[in-house]
Structure 1
Amino acid sequence: MPEILIAALSPVGHFGPLLNVARGLVDRGERVTVLSGAAHEREIRSVGATPATLPPQGDLDLDLLEPDSGREEISGIKRLNFDIVRLFVAPMPHQAKALAELLTQKRFDAILADYGFFGVLPFVLGERSARPPVLLFSTTPLMISSRDTAPAGLGLPPSTSTFGRLRNRALTLLSQKVLLRPAHKAANCQLHRFNSPELPTFLLDVGVLADRLIVPTVPEFDYPRSDLPANTRYVGMVHPSPTMRFRPPVWWQKLDGDRPVVHVTQGTVDNSDPRRLLQPTIEALADENVMVVATTGGPHVSELGFPIPHNAYVADYLPHDLLLPKVDVMVTNGGYGGVQRALSTGVPLVVAGNTEDKPEVAARVAWSGAGIDLRTGDPTAKAIRAAVREVLGDGRYLRRARELEAAYAQRDGVAEIAALIDEVIGERAVAP
């Protein structure tokens, strides 16, 4: 019976999918330890896995993004470097120490780590025979550099033309050698503390160093790359467990009427300011022949601070597996998980996001033909109204979303990840 170690940062976009993988591995009889923040201990036990506590200094601390962190005083590339260094690079030594302690306590057959869990890098860069196989799980659209794509973060579509590849190469060199050089240098400085070799590749390309790089989506929702690394595997979406207990609001049955349903959400992270997307969407559609269902992702409805029109309903949270089958268009700021939930249900999208990986998610929605990228995180009510009208009125968006739904339905993310774990364990067993 294999012993599997899963390492995940605490935010829901990192922890949630890997908890679902843990559940699937336990269900098939494997022993699983999950290293994450202390707040997740009960959830880890609930799926039958053993919790291991990551020290606070080793976790992704979203408080570092608060106004008093100094982050608001910088912008653009400086802010991006700030985020990478403070959120992902600085915790590296604490993560590596926690991993090392676990590896001395128990013999693990494989490590499955969140892509942002940089504490695994000293082990990946060390002697291969001295560590278990390592699989990295991408929690964002694939960021690996390619001759066919611009560097991650710009939200640019792919291009394989001669000019396009020249553009891609120039932008990639600029990004790696100049713009994000401080973050890369900071990572190497941390590695020096472990007497570890420097990174042989760019920091955001570290997935190529793992035994397997897991991409939890379908190829149809990602840019084709003629130079895709050989260790990369698309596995489809890692679906959460179905909702078992749900008390629907009194207006729930109205969603089964004749009017189109538009769902708007700012996700569970970038949701502190409803004026960015919730408010303009609700206001934009107030006089349209649609029903609007908005979820705040945490803040109470009473905190919104603006009037709710007669055709809109607002809740703190609604389970997507029950809501999305009733939805005709989803308006979102581009969270990777939420967008894939919509597409796996055949729901076309309007995306307005400009933080974290959201520009890349939005660009893929537009590239795939399953929705509209508003190319801003602060859209006007007019722009949202026009986009929703276009998606509802042009059947091409729905058809493309349904095609992606079929692609997702052909894959079981948890089962494919389990098969990859078996694969790397088998390879190690026969290695000389």
Structure 2
Amino acid sequence: MAKVIVASTPLHGHVTPMLAVAQGLVRRGHEVRFLTSTRYADRVRAAGAAFVPLPGQADYDDRALDVQFPGRAAAQGPGRLIFDIKNLFGDAIPDQFSALQSLLAEFPASTVISDLLFFGSLPLSMGTPRRDRPTTVTMGISPVPVDSVDTAPFGFGVPPLPGAEGRARNEAMYAQAREVFADAEGHVGKVLAGLGVALTRSLFSESAAAADHFLQLTVPGFEYPRSDAPASLRFVGVLPSEPGTDAELPEWWDDLVQRNGPVVTVTQGTVDNADFSPLLLPTLRALADLDVTVVAATARPGGPEAVRAALGELPANVLLGGYIPFDRLLPLSDVLVTNGGYGGVHTALRHGVPLVVAGTTEDKPEVAARVEWAGAGVNLRTDAPDEETLRTAVGTVLNEPNFRSQASALQAEMAQYDPIAAIAEVVEQPEHA
């Protein structure tokens, strides 16, 4: 049995896959302590790990980010990513690293596993001699952000362009990216310098490559090829669904199972769903007159009531729910309309469901670009599409079989991987025995 620390940035899309990692290791007999914010204490314990709270600025509540971080709501596109790098991820580093040090002093773990944006693990990987620290693992819970001559910079949502033309384009875009992100990277660089660590490359590349192992939670078919990828990068497949989410099925479930014809599911995910006007509501209006069943998964308390209040009258072809288990719903779905969370997109592809993606904040442009690049759906390149655009995109995905076949090919590729076994292989290395 190994002692393992799992550390997660306290954002739902980060905690969810890290909980699955922790639960998988616990089931294999390892002792796991999970470091994140107090908001997730109960879910950590439900996964079988011991909860350890993050202190100070690292302990924030992702349900109220725009309140806790004034100015965030006004930041859009790359500006939102820049704001988050500085305020959510960068300023949390000293408290994250302090918590790791304190925990390791009382719990001498052989492995520390952290998500890509838990930058507090960088001083451990970069500032401590290998013989004096645990093995460090970075989990890729968003699209691979590593700089490469073969790809455009992370954050712009631009797919690869092959050949010399593509490399020239990429070089020019990296120069632009260095300018765009200079303030954010300079800010984080100063924070890290205060802990005795100097960045040697771009921040995201450093976070990925500094650890002993960079385990990416996808398959090669959903990630851009890189001729200069770090040796530590390994694709390990898609994690099982989040532990402890056996939500009660809605009252209309049997009706859905027995219906004939296409089923379109729409969601704005579990975080960006306070306001349904960008995507969920226009999708319901756009598809109201089509011969399809539309399942609206609001994924929050009070969500169905908010939708009814906004629409006045619910279209006859809509089935409305709150938290609906996607492992039950997606096998019945023909298309998923989503704002492009990495985990939700992978859940759809794990069931062979093609997508319509509309997202422009955080890493969503990169997720949407990969959906398009892989041929598994349509990228709308906006987070507030109009009704005609949505109607056309859903019709395109329903009527052109290549989208379904590409999603099915990714489903088959994902079935060949066992991510928990791959992660456990690192934890159970001989030097850890």
Q: TM-score, normalised by structure 1?
A: 0.94
Q: Which residue of 2 aligns with 1:39?
A: 39
Query: In the alignment, is the contact (CA less than 8 A) between 2:47 and 2:243 conserved in 1?
Result: no
Q: Which residue of 2 aligns with 1:286?
A: 288
Shift of residue 10 of structure 1? 2.1
Q: Which residue of 1 aligns with 2:198?
A: 198
Give 1:333's aligned amino acid. Answer: N
Query: In the alignment, is the contact (CA less than 8 A) between 2:53 and 2:59 conserved in 1?
Result: no
Structure 2 vs 1, CA of residues 37 and 71 (structure 1 numbering), >3 Å: closer, same or farther? closer
Query: In the alignment, is the contact (CA less than 8 A) between 1:260 and 1:290 conserved in 2?
Result: yes
Structure 2 vs 1, CA of residues 312 and 160 (structure 1 numbering), >3 Å: closer, same or farther? same
Q: Classify the secondary structure of the residue corresponding to 1:214.
A: strand
Q: Which moved more, 1:122-131 or 1:389-398?
A: 122-131
Q: Classify the secondary structure of the residue corresponding to 1:125.
A: helix
5+ residue gaps, structure 2, are: none
Shift of residue 247 of structure 1? 3.5
1:133 aligns with 2:135: yes
Shift of residue 144 of structure 1? 0.5
Query: In the alignment, is the contact (CA less than 8 A) between 1:64 and 1:86 conserved in 2?
Result: no
Shift of residue 74 of structure 1? 4.8
Shift of residue 11 of structure 1? 1.9
1:330 aligns with 2:336: yes
Q: Classify the secondary structure of the residue corresponding to 2:190.
A: helix
Q: Which residue of 1 aligns with 2:54?
A: 54
5+ residue gaps, structure 1, are: none
Give 1:230's aligned amino acid. Answer: A
Q: Which moved more, 1:112-121 or 1:253-262?
A: 253-262
Query: In the alignment, is the contact (CA less than 8 A) between 2:237 and 2:417 conserved in 1?
Result: yes
Paired residue for 1:313, among 299, 319, 342? 319
Paired residue for 1:298, among 286, 297, 300? 300
Alpha-carbon separation, structure 2, partners of 1:39 and 1:165: 44
Query: In the alignment, is the contact (CA less than 8 A) between 1:60 and 1:88 conserved in 2?
Result: no
Q: Which residue of 2 aligns with 1:374?
A: 380
Cα deviation code 1:225-270 (max 9, x no counterpart): 1111110010001112577855332321222321210000000111
Q: Counterparts in 2 of 1:22-421, with a 5 A limit?
A: 22-59=22-59, 61-62=61-62, 63-66=64-67, 69-75=70-76, 77-126=78-127, 127-176=129-178, 178-194=179-195, 196-206=196-206, 207-240=208-241, 245-256=246-257, 257-300=259-302, 301-304=304-307, 305-306=310-311, 307-421=313-427
Q: Classify the secondary structure of the residue corresponding to 1:249.
A: coil
Query: In the alignment, is the contact (CA less than 8 A) between 1:243 and 1:321 conserved in 2?
Result: no
Query: In the alignment, is the contact (CA less than 8 A) between 1:243 and 1:319 conserved in 2?
Result: no
Alpha-carbon separation, structure 1, partners of 2:36 and 2:243: 23
Alpha-carbon separation, structure 1, partners of 2:249 and 2:76: 42
Q: Classify the secondary structure of the residue corresponding to 1:262.
A: strand
Shift of residue 59 of structure 1? 3.4
Give 1:259's aligned amino acid. Answer: G
Query: In the alignment, is the contact (CA less than 8 A) between 2:248 and 2:324 conserved in 1?
Result: no
Query: In the alignment, is the contact (CA less than 8 A) between 2:39 and 2:61 conserved in 1?
Result: no
Alpha-carbon separation, structure 2, partners of 1:175 and 1:235: 29
The size of the alignment, in residue pairs, is 425
Q: Which moved more, 1:119-128 or 1:213-222?
A: 119-128
Alpha-carbon separation, structure 2, partners of 1:47 and 1:64: 25
Alpha-carbon separation, structure 2, partners of 1:79 and 1:263: 27
Alpha-carbon separation, structure 2, partners of 1:354 and 1:73: 14
Alpha-carbon separation, structure 1, partners of 2:110 and 2:220: 29
Shift of residue 404 of structure 1? 0.7
Shift of residue 428 of structure 1? 7.3
Alpha-carbon separation, structure 1, partners of 2:390 and 2:73: 27
**Larger relative contact order (CA 8 Å, sep ≥ 6):** 2
Q: TM-score, normalised by structure 2?
A: 0.94
Q: Aligned-residue CA RMSD in angstroms?
A: 1.8
Query: In the alignment, is the contact (CA less than 8 A) between 2:250 and 2:324 conserved in 1?
Result: no
Alpha-carbon separation, structure 1, partners of 2:280 and 2:335: 14
Q: Classify the secondary structure of the residue corresponding to 1:71.
A: coil
Give 1:31's aligned amino acid. Answer: E
Structure 2 vs 1, CA of residues 89 and 241 (structure 1 numbering), >3 Å: closer, same or farther? closer
Alpha-carbon separation, structure 1, partners of 2:27 and 2:69: 44
Query: In the alignment, is the contact (CA less than 8 A) between 1:9 and 1:60 conserved in 2?
Result: no
Alpha-carbon separation, structure 1, partners of 2:232 and 2:339: 31
Shift of residue 24 of structure 1? 1.1
Give 2:189's aligned amino acid. Answer: N
Give 1:317's aligned amino acid. Answer: Y
Seq. identity, %: 42
Query: In the alignment, is the contact (CA less than 8 A) between 1:60 and 1:91 conserved in 2?
Result: no
Q: Which moved more, 1:394-403 or 1:64-73?
A: 64-73
Cα deviation code 1:83-137 (max 9, x no counterpart): 2100100011111111111111121101001111111111111122221110011
